[in-house]
Structure 1
Amino acid sequence: MATIIESDFGKTPFQRLLGHNQQVMEAWVHLGDILEKDGWLPSALKEQVRRTLAQGNGCEYCKAKGKPEPGKFTEKISMAAGFAEVFLKQKSNIPDSAFTLLRECFTEEEISELCAFIAFATASHYFGAMMKLK
């Protein structure tokens, strides 16, 4: 059971926990929708990054949505998922060499989107973990 009672607002258990403040929940969902869809990076790449992060960020609800699927990895997905693994271990102390490697496959725009996605997904995972969402 979650640490607080779900609100009546939201479509998923995660959203209903955020739904105690509808404005926050709606903005969170909107930003998530923007970041998850195709942008500079394809949504399939971001889904594999999300799955990678979920395994290390402590949210059981997020882990339940699936593990990374190496059979679907392209070179870019492998690089992005590898960078996510570095983030999980280093947090804000990511070595410059990790960004040097990213630049071999990604543009500055793509790196910016990847980092924004990683930060947002991690925040979502941490919220789910704090709320003991199953």
Structure 2
Amino acid sequence: MTTINFAPIGDTPFQKLLGHNSEIMRQWTSLGETLEADGALSAELKEQIRRTLAQENGCEYCKAKGKPDPAEFDEKTSLAAGFAEVFLKHKGSIPEPVFDVVKKGFTEKEISELCAFICFSTASQFFGAMMALKPSEEKGL
């Protein structure tokens, strides 16, 4: 059971927890859709990063959506996943030599998008963990 009850507003269990504040839910969902879509980085790369982060960020609902799939990794995805793991290990304080490596494989536009995606995904996963959101909650809709 989640920490708080679901609101009647929202399409997913996650949105129903944010739905107690409809404007926050709307803006959060909009930003999530923007960040998850193809941009400077592909949606597929970002999904592998989301999965990488989910394994450590404590949200069972997010973890249940799957582990990263190394068979889907190309060189860029491998570099991004490694960067996400460093982010997790250092709690956001990325050592400069790590950024030096990332700068060799990504443009500044891509790095900005990658960092924004990692931070937003982590915030979403922390929210799910705080709210004790479980994969079984999907059945309750």
> How far apart are residue 114 of structure 1 and its match?
0.1
Letter paired with 2:82: G
Q: Which runs of 5+ in 2 are unaligned?
A: 135-141
Residues 1:50 and 2:50 are matched in the alignment: yes
> How far apart are residue 94 of structure 1 and its match?
1.0
- Provide the rounded CA distance (Å) in 2 between the counterparts of 1:92 and 1:47: 19
Q: Which runs of 5+ in 1 are unaligned?
A: none
Which residue of structure 1 aligns with residue 137 of structure 2?
A: none
Query: What pairs up with 1:112-131 in 2 under 5 angstroms?
Result: 112-131=112-131
- Provide the rounded CA distance (Å) in 2 between the counterparts of 1:91 and 1:111: 17
Letter paired with 1:61: Y
Letter paired with 2:80: A
Structure 1 outlier segments of 4+, above 3 Å: none
The alignment partner of 2:109 has SS state of helix
Residues 1:87 and 2:87 are matched in the alignment: yes
Which residue of structure 2 aligns with residue 7 of structure 1?
A: 7
Which residue of structure 2 aligns with residue 19 of structure 1?
A: 19
> How far apart are residue 91 of structure 1 and its match?
1.5
Q: Aligned-pair RMSD on alpha carbons?
A: 0.5
Letter paired with 1:3: T
- How many pairs align? 134
Letter paired with 1:132: A
Alpha-carbon deviations, 1:9-47, whole Å to 9, x = none? 000000000000000000000000000000000000000
Which residue of structure 1 aligns with residue 102 of structure 2?
A: 102
The alignment partner of 1:82 has SS state of helix
Which residue of structure 2 aligns with residue 28 of structure 1?
A: 28
- Provide the rounded CA distance (Å) in 1 between the counterparts of 2:60 and 2:52: 13
The alignment partner of 1:39 has SS state of coil
- Provide the rounded CA distance (Å) in 2 between the counterparts of 1:28 and 1:120: 9
Query: If the length of structure 2 is used for normalisation, what is the TM-score?
Result: 0.94
Query: What pairs up with 1:56-95 in 2 under 5 angstroms?
Result: 56-95=56-95
Q: Percent of pairs identical after alignment?
A: 64
The alignment partner of 2:28 has SS state of helix
